[in-house]
Amino acid sequence: MKHLIRTRGIADADWPQVAALEAEAYTDPSLTEGEELLRSRARASAGTCFALDVDGQLAGYVLALPYPRFRCPDLTRPEGVVHHSVNLHLHDLVVTAPLRRRGLGTRLVRRLTDEARARGFETMSLIAVAGRETFWRANGYRPHPGTRLPPGYGGDAVYMVAQMAASRPHEGRDAV
């Protein structure tokens, strides 16, 4: 059966379901942030945050924001500063449990990577949690184990970075 799959910007009406998807995805409650903190991440860079619809229903999302390399958001605090960086931090990517392992996560990664390149980012970073390092390695990310992480990401968390091929200079963006 063919499904209609599309990515789009996250609408205000999506946020309660985005928060529900986040709560469903993480068995460790310290990894869940809740609706307001998730919204704060998107406010920092709405153009790099996307919803995933499958047959007209919200089935996943990705949140990413400019952040200095080798630093990452504190899970207990809202974003208060918009960083000007050549690095785009992929903060969260979730696909609803019944639709996992069907390539939808990779589809979201590709959509975000295309956007990062178009916006001139040189690198993308993330923190692999809950044993997902293998997925991220398959998508071009490499670990940087010496990176200090704020509390809350879990003992198995790994900071990872991917280089953006064909990046372009972007006026007004400071290298951080």
Q: Give the model's confidence band at 138: pLDDT under 50 very low, under 70 low, under 90 confident, else very high.
A: very high
* Continuous segment of H or E residues that includes residue 77: none
Query: Residues 125, 145, 117, CA angle at the centre, nearest 5°?
Result: 15
Out of 74-83, 94-103, 109-118, 145-154, the most confident range is 109-118
Of 85, 82, 81, 45, nearest in space to 174 by CA: 85
| pTM for the model | 0.88
- All domains in the chain, ordered by first residue: 5-163 (3.40.630.30)
Exposure class string for 64-90: b at 16+ Cβ within 10 A, else e: bbbbbbebbbebeeebeeebebbbbbb
Give tens-digit pLDDT for 34-83: 899 999 999 999 999 999 999 999 999 999 999 999 998 888 888 888 89
Say how far apart CA 169 and CA 171 lie, in whole Å: 6
DSSP-derived secondary structure letter, 101? T
